């Protein structure tokens, strides 16, 4: 009589489907490029803190260097006296300006709305970075960039009443100078974060398309 083979017994830390230990270093999440929640939180908070502190310091340092100080009118609205431009090299310089709206002054005068959006975006970015699957390092970093940029401008709107900008880019075509709206480190962080997400999604879409053809 043939004796039936007993089923293989796996230790508690072994996944029968993968025959690999489901430890933090070799679990399914990490094998597909994701981070454990604790590492994702550390990466997010570290990058968030560095960008936020750099943004706030650079705004203060640039305004002091340019000799610009925020004033307030009788209605309590902030404004800046006319400031000079310090050219670093052709096409790039420093110029203090105060933005009471969003990009290029959009939604000017809607400070409460902009504060609310920024205040919501910071915790949303953090929660999404922990709950998404897999927690890809580049995605966590991009959300930290967006969150820190939102936090930097949130501070300015809440404390100063407007966002301090100081980075100036321009291009000369003939005798005409075309100037990009002044911005700051926080704005740059948001743009970089969004760009990373868009580029990554385009790469994934291209891979999926190639796989379906194959």
Question: pLDDT by residue for the chain (214 residues), tens digit each?
Answer: 555 555 556 555 555 554 444 444 444 444 445 899 999 999 999 999 999 999 999 999 999 999 999 999 988 889 998 788 999 999 999 999 999 866 655 556 677 888 999 999 999 999 999 999 889 999 999 999 999 999 999 999 999 999 999 999 999 898 898 999 999 999 999 999 999 999 999 998 988 888 887 6
d(CA 194, CA 183): 16
Predicted pLDDT at 29? 43
Locus of tokens 């052709």: 90
> Catalytic residues, which ones?
165, 187
Predicted pLDDT at 75? 85
Instruction: Output DSSP code: residue 156.
Output: I
d(CA 45, CA 41): 6
d(CA 46, CA 50): 6
Of the CA atoms within 13 Å of residue 186, those in its CB half-sphere come to 27
Instruction: Output DSSP code: residue 104.
Output: G
Predicted pLDDT at 13? 52
**How far is C-alpha 191 from the geometric centre of its chain's CA atoms?**
7
d(CA 197, CA 148): 16
Predicted pLDDT at 208? 85
- Contact by Cβ (8 Å): 72, 79: yes
């Amino acid at each position: 009589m043939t004796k039936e083979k007993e089923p293989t017994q796996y230790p508690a830390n072994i996944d029968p489907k993968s025959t690999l230990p489901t430890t933090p270093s070799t679990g399914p999440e990490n094998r597909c490029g994701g981070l454990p929640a604790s590492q994702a939180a550390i990466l997010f908070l570290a990058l968030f803190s560095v960008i936020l502190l750099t943004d706030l310091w650079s705004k203060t340092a640039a305004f002091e260097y340019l000799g610009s100080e925020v004033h307030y009118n009788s209605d309590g609205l902030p404004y800046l006296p006319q400031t000079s431009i310090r050219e670093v090299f052709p096409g790039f310089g420093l110029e203090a300006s105060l933005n009471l709206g969003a990009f290029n002054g959009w939604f000017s005068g809607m400070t409460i709305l902009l504060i609310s959006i920024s205040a919501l975006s910071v915790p949303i970015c953090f929660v999404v970075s922990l709950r998404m699957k897999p927690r890809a390092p580049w995605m966590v970093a991009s959300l930290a960039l967006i969150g820190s940029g939102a936090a930097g401008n949130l501070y300015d709107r809440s404390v100063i009443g407007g966002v301090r900008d100081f980075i100036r880019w321009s291009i000369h075509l003939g005798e005409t100078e075309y100037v990009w709206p002044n911005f700051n480190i926080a704005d740059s962080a948001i743009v970089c974060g969004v760009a990373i997400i868009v580029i990554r999604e385009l790469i994934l879409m291209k891979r999926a398309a190639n796989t379906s053809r194959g």
